[in-house]
Amino acid sequence: MIDQNHDSEEQAQMQKLTRTVTLTVALTLISGCSYFGVYKRDLAQGNLVTADMAEQLQPGMTRQQVVNLMGSPMLEAPFDAQQWDYVYRLDEAYGGIEQRRLTLTFQGNRLADIDRHGDFSRPPSVANERGIGPTDSAGEQAGNLLNVRPEDD
């Protein structure tokens, strides 16, 4: 009789242990805390501004010439229509944050001042040896406005 009680107590403790371990494993998997880690990717936002683009800006250019070269600005100062900001931010998944900002000030319709913030000495991390942007199956740049060549007439 004592052996039966002892066996049933051991079975009850074993069932409790099995439930506890199962519950712990289930909660760990459900909570997103994974042994394998979380996949991250680089997040680029804003206007991609290269050193080459910034070098081509010259005081005296019209607003339209600036738009043709740089694209539309990310920010136009709400209280000062004479200032445009081209902002680029890259949050690297397993690295730091890269930020660049180009502030253009106009007098009337003409570019008067160019103010740079950030490191323009090297291409952004998104730009690699293939260029900027995705490639198609043939390895050609797809949708890359920076590598567009004028068509031969």
Q: Region 71-83: what's the mean pLDDT?
A: 80
- Architecture category of domain 43-125 in CATH: 2-Layer Sandwich (3.30)
Q: What pTM, to 2 d.p., does this model score?
A: 0.55
d(CA 4, CA 74): 78
100-116 pLDDT, tens per residue? 889 999 999 999 999 99
Q: Which of 94, 70, 87, 72 is nearest to 146 (CA)?
A: 70
